[in-house]
């Protein structure tokens, strides 16, 4: 089919147009689905073959939209980090901070009261802390808000609630309704903890970029894309190159967020090639854990909380509260054992600095799992209850996604971790302080962190971050 722009530029007409594009690309797959004989692996393989045919047309679509909209620059930003590190919580918290200090907090206070059970006295305390933050922040802090909470940017979600799981809860609005056409193929893949074919992902992200442009914005956040080295190569060697040939500059910034301490972050920056060895080792360990837990002294019930508690589809709703309370506690115990296991396997490198990176990252792995346990205790998410699937995703993260960030010399954000000798913990207060300091350092290496402006903003941001991570 030939791409034809909708004459009307309402969101409804734009969304209908993109649903037609997706359905046309999916025709061969929908025919196989109708036969009822295809499995998850076959669907995934076919998606990759379909993407090879569609990517060229999707890039051409971006060019056409840019010409119509008058854009000659596209700004992309990717945040990369392990599951549960707090990428979404950080972004939403900063949006809250920005809205409140700009005097638009009334609706948020209502949300805090209704959704987060925040008392009136606590809301008064939050308002008092907000009053201490200057209405006009300094230039460096304003740049931080541009990075994390730019009101003019658009976000493309590639996970649950996004392009692969379009019915995903209430996020964001109904943007991903056009992707319901593919959910019969992608939802089973996601549920298995398997990555959707990376070429198909690249194709979908490309048409989502076109859709953001058609909405009228050329500043776009990509939620964990590129996720693999091949996807990173697609942006650098295909998308960027093809657009430049048509007079369109594509700027892509990668920000790497990890639940680590500042020393580990500095060592990774100083020795990226050495750090890469540790990351690849971590990826190997998580793959082993997902495929053969007994190899490292675990049993399946340590990793599959649903099985451990005898929970299935029929009794999930009535057992959800038990999963949130007892399941999350069991997962914290597993997190402590995992941290110890990984520490012993990554901390024996010959070079001192690599040994220190190994200790820091093993600590961060335990902290990541602990934070996922906390999320399980507040949300009862089923996909958090199967550590086997989580470990598969972490294996991909450490062996493929994080190396994308390291080899592209991305900025590393240290989002707090437990002490290497202690049990893992949430470290939420440390997380937001480390994140904010890292972001400010990115834009101003000589920033004065003792300033009243920074400390009042930090104090207020911590307060809101703790609220955000409570649910």
Number of separate helices (H) and strands (E) present in the chain: 21, 5
Say if CB 42 and CB 194 are below 8 A apart. no
Say if CB 160 and CB 183 are below 8 A apart. no
Token digits of residue 451: 């300033």
Domain contains 23? no
Domain contains 317? yes
User: In a 3-state reduction of DSSP, which class is residue 116?
Assistant: coil
Most confident by average pLDDT, 247-261, 289-303, 337-351, 424-438: 247-261
pLDDT, one tens digit per residue, over 349-392 is 556 788 888 888 888 888 888 888 888 888 888 878 888 888 88
> Of the candidates 366, 375, 380, which has an alpha carbon nearest to the alpha carbon of residue 468?
375
Domain contains 355? yes
In sequence order, which residues have a C-beta less than 8 Å from that of residue 202 and are 6 or more positions away? 51, 55, 231, 234
**Number of compact structural domains in the chain:** 1
Kindly indicate the confidence band of residue 190, based on its pLDDT and cuts at 50, 70 and 90: confident
Q: CB 237: neighbour CB atoms within 10 A?
A: 10
Burial state string for 168-177 with b = 16 or more CB within 10 A and e = fewer than 16: beeeeeebbe
Q: Give the pLDDT of residue 38.
A: 63
Higher pLDDT, 417 or 145: 145
Any bridge partners for residue 154, and if so which? 220
Domain contains 334? yes
Domain contains 103? no
Can you give the residue range of the structural domain that contains 372?
Answer: 262-436
Report the chain's mean pLDDT, rounded to a whole number: 86
Domain contains 268? yes
Domain contains 360? yes
Domain contains 375? yes
d(CA 349, CA 421): 18
Say if CB 210 and CB 58 are below 8 A apart. yes
pLDDT, one tens digit per residue, over 304-315 is 888 888 998 889
Using left for φ > 0, alpha for ψ between -120 and 50, and beta otherwise, residue 173 falls in: left
Higher pLDDT, 403 or 6: 403
pLDDT, one tens digit per residue, over 73-126 is 999 999 999 887 888 889 899 999 999 998 888 999 999 999 888 999 999 999
């Amino acid at each position: 089919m030939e791409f034809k722009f909708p004459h009307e530029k309402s969101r409804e007409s734009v969304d209908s147009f993109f649903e037609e594009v997706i359905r046309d690309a999916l025709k061969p797959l929908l025919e196989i689905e109708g036969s009822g004989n295809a499995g998850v692996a076959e669907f995934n393989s076919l998606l990759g073959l379909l993407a090879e045919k569609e990517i060229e047309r999707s890039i051409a679509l971006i060019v056409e939209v840019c010409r119509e909209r008058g854009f000659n620059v596209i700004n992309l930003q990717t945040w990369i980090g392990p599951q549960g590190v707090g990428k979404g919580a950080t972004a939403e918290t900063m949006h809250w901070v920005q809205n409140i200090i700009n005097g638009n907090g009334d609706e948020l206070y209502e949300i805090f009261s209704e959704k987060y059970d925040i008392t009136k006295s606590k809301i008064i305390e939050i308002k008092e802390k907000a009053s201490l933050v200057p209405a006009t922040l300094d230039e460096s802090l304003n740049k931080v808000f541009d990075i994390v909470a730019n009101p003019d940017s658009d976000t493309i979600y590639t996970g649950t609630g996004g392009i692969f799981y379009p019915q995903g809860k209430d996020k964001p609005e109904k943007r991903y309704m056009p992707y319901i056409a593919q959910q019969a193929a992608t939802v089973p893949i996601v549920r298995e903890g398997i990555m959707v074919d990376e070429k198909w992902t690249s194709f979908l992200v490309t048409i989502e970029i076109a859709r953001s442009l058609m909405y009228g914005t050329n500043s776009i956040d990509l939620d964990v894309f590129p996720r693999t080295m091949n996807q990173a190569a697609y942006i650098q060697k295909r998308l960027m190159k093809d657009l430049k040939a048509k007079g369109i500059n594509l700027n892509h910034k990668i920000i790497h967020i990890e639940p680590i301490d500042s020393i580990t972050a500095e060592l990774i920056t100083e020795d990226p090639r050495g750090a890469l060895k540790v990351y690849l080792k971590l990826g190997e360990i998580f793959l082993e854990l997902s495929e053969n837990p007994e190899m490292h002294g675990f049993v399946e019930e340590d990793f599959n909380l649903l099985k451990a508690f005898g929970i299935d589809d029929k009794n999930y709703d009535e057992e959800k509260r038990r999963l949130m309370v007892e399941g999350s506690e069991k997962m914290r115990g597993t997190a402590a054992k995992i941290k110890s296991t990984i520490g012993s396997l990554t901390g024996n490198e010959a070079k001192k600095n690599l040994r220190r990176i190994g200790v820091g990252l093993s600590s961060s792995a335990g902290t990541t799992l602990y934070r996922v346990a906390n999320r399980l205790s507040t949300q009862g998410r089923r996909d958090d209850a199967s550590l086997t699937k989580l470990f598969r995703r972490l294996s991909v993260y450490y062996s493929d996604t994080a190396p994308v960030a390291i080899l592209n010399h991305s900025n590393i954000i240290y989002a707090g971790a437990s002490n290497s000798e202690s049990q893992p913990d949430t470290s939420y207060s440390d997380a937001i302080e480390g994140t904010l300091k890292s972001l400010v350092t990115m834009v101003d290496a000589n920033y004065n962190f003792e300033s009243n402006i920074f400390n009042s903003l930090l104090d207020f941001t911590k307060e809101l971050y703790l609220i955000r991570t409570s649910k």
